[in-house]
């Protein structure tokens, strides 16, 4: 089985399992994820994040959230932090993205992400590339992408309710290993 066929088979399996859900505004499953670099924070420390570099190490869960320190975004960050051992065991990395400034993200990475995973600045270009703009507010929709190491999107979950993002993205990452 070729890698391309295997990738398509995994995508089809995810779709049949209800894990590859997508609203019409987000990027579709199977599309190449737009490459980007940005400022990010992990454990209160700033660093440069590159999607290409992260994908070289394995699948990436790229989740967008509207605003740091709001109730739903805090609960979502806490849930991803708790699940990080499971994501790591599956060989995946996680990065949260919002339009917050780097100073806010440094605090958020320590206090709500519990030093478990990075959060990055989603500027207008990244927000536009991933089609996650929430109107003209500068905020993003709550959308999670699972990106395979080859750079293709294998799962999309967009829902304003934070619950379900961790479970669905973890299931998609695990399906990639099969």
Active site residues: 73
Residue tagged 């440094």 (tokens): 106
- Cα 100 from Cα 157, distance rounded (Å): 21
Structure-derived torsion over alpha carbons of residues 144, 66, 34, 114, reported in degrees to the nearest 10: -70
Classified as helix, coil or strand, 172 is helix
The order of strands in the sheet holding 143-147 is 45-50, 37-42, 119-121, 93-98, 60-64, 143-147, 153-158
Residue tagged 């660093």 (tokens): 47
Residue tagged 């339009």 (tokens): 99
Q: Which two tokens stand for residue 91?
A: 């060989």
Q: Which two tokens stand for residue 113?
A: 């992400």
């Amino acid at each position: 089985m070729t890698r391309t066929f295997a990738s398509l088979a995994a995508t089809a399996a995810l779709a049949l399992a209800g894990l590859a859900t997508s609203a019409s505004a987000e990027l579709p499953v199977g599309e190449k994820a737009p490459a980007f670099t940005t400022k990010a924070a992990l454990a209160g420390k700033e660093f440069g994040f590159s999607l290409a570099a992260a994908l070289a190490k394995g699948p990436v869960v790229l989740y967008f959230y509207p605003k740091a320190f709001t109730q739903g975004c805090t609960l979502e960050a806490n849930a991803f932090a708790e699940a990080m051992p499971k994501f790591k065991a599956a060989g995946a990395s996680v990065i949260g993205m919002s339009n917050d400034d780097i100073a806010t993200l440094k605090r958020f990475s320590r206090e709500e992400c519990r030093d478990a995973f990075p959060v990055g600045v989603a500027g207008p270009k990244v927000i536009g590339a991933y089609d996650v703009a929430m109107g003209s507010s500068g905020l993003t929709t709550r959308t999670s992408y699972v990106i395979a190491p080859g750079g293709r999107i294998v799962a999309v979950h967009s829902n304003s309710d934070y619950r379900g993002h961790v479970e669905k993205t973890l299931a998609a990452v695990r399906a990639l290993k099969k």
